């Protein structure tokens, strides 16, 4: 029997209802169902709540019930353990979710008998080097991007960039994004970065509203080490996949490269990324 975690969008009643229905069906079939303690309370399944470290032990599958934001939350929870993730779309057209709400049971049945494939996505790792002590020195990983950006509206931030130990250039900008191919359709896209097939491996360094002539994205090899140091007289906010980690002061730095771990997405056949782009951007056929 399988151990399956359900991760639920906190503000969508349909997600909580679907979690209850899915949990009942899985338990009736003899499977173990787990939720985070917060999700268990929100879904009315308090008895199934687990602390985050406990939820991963022997876990076979994590199911995201929500949109892309919920998928990012699931990947953050399970990526280091490389637990497969199945995305169920309960929002707008999603880039990351494989299954629509009405297809959850069929998708789970197919997963449980092995009728699926695993699509690996590159993760970005950020080593925080905080000499000032405002943040603990630690390693964090993300599916989409690492961002250093200004802390106040109307101001820029100055960030010095090294690539593979060699000084590249200082940027004066609203911020810098170090994105994965999956993240090329997230924040980096709004900063006019390129769209990259999500199964590629590369790091994308994209400036946000740079106050300089050089405003292009750099597409780097995945094993490149991109070091960003806060310079000038202003701090910078650090966030990963939209999660704000805190503020870096002048002299603090982060080093970004490909993570040793991968996100493992459950897929049923080849995913039509170009079709998703056409629908998302309302591109017409001839």
Q: Is there a contact between 135 and 128 (Cβ–Cβ < 8 Å)?
A: yes
- 252 is annotated as an active-site residue: no
Q: Is there a contact between 241 and 177 (Cβ–Cβ < 8 Å)?
A: no
Nearest to 177 by CA among 199, 209, 131: 209
> Would you write out the chain's pLDDT as a tens digit for each of its 286 residues?
999 999 999 888 999 999 999 999 999 999 999 999 999 999 999 999 999 889 999 999 999 999 999 999 999 999 999 999 999 999 766 789 989 999 999 999 999 999 999 999 999 999 999 888 888 889 999 999 999 999 988 899 999 999 999 999 999 999 999 999 999 999 999 999 999 999 999 999 999 999 998 999 999 999 999 999 999 889 999 999 999 999 999 999 999 999 999 999 999 987 778 888 888 788 887 7
Residue 236 sits at φ, ψ, to 5 deg, of -140, 145
Q: Which of these is catalytic: 11, 52, 68, 241?
A: 68
3-state secondary structure labels for all residues of 19-46? HHHHHHHHHHCCCEEEEEHHHHHHCCCH
What b-and-e string marks burial along 245-263, b requiring 16 or more CB atoms within 10 Å of the CB? bebbebebbbbbbbbebbb
Res 93: pLDDT: 62
Q: Is there a contact between 174 and 157 (Cβ–Cβ < 8 Å)?
A: yes
Res 35: pLDDT: 98
In the chain, % helix, strand, coil (3-state, to 5) comes to 25, 40, 35
Domains of the chain: residue spans and CATH? 3-116+268-280 (3.40.50.10330), 123-261 (2.60.200.30)
Res 126: pLDDT: 97
Q: pTM higher than 0.85, yes or no?
A: yes
Length of the chain: 286
* Residue written as token pair 């007289």: 233
Nearest to 149 by CA among 214, 207, 211: 207
* Residue written as token pair 């929870």: 77
Q: Is there a contact between 170 and 228 (Cβ–Cβ < 8 Å)?
A: no
Res 159: pLDDT: 98
Q: Is there a contact between 228 and 253 (Cβ–Cβ < 8 Å)?
A: yes
């Amino acid at each position: 029997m399988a151990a399956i975690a359900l991760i639920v969008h906190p503000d969508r009643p349909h997600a909580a209802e679907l979690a209850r229905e899915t949990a009942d069906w899985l338990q009736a079939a003899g499977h173990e169902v787990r939720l985070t303690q917060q999700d268990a309370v929100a879904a009315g399944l308090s008895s199934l709540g687990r602390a985050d470290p406990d939820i991963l032990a022997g876990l076979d599958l994590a199911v995201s019930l929500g949109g892309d934001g919920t998928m990012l939350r699931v990947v953050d929870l399970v990526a280091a353990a490389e637990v497969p993730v199945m995305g169920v779309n309960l929002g707008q057209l999603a880039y990351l979710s494989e299954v629509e709400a009405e297809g959850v049971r069929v998708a789970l049945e197919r997963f449980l008998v092995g009728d699926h494939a695993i699509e690996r996505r590159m993760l970005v790792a950020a080593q925080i080097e905080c000499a000032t002590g405002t943040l603990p020195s630690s390693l964090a990983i993300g599916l989409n991007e690492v961002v250093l950006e200004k802390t106040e509206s109307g101001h820029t931030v100055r960030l010095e960039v090294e690539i593979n130990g060699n000084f590249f250039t200082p940027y004066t900008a609203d911020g810098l994004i170090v994105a994965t191919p999956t993240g090329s359709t997230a924040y980096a896209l709004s900063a006019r970065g390129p769209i990259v097939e999500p199964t590629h491996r590369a790091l994308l360094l994209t400036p946000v509203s740079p106050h300089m002539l050089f405003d292009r994205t750099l597409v780097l090899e995945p094993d490149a080490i991109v070091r960003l140091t806060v310079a000038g007289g202003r701090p910078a906010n650090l966030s990963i996949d939209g999660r704000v980690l805190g503020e870096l002061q002048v002299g603090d730095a982060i080093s970004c490269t490909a993570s040793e771990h991968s996100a493992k997405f459950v897929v049923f056949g080849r995913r039509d990324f170009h079709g998703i782009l056409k629908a998302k951007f309302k591109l017409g056929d001839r």
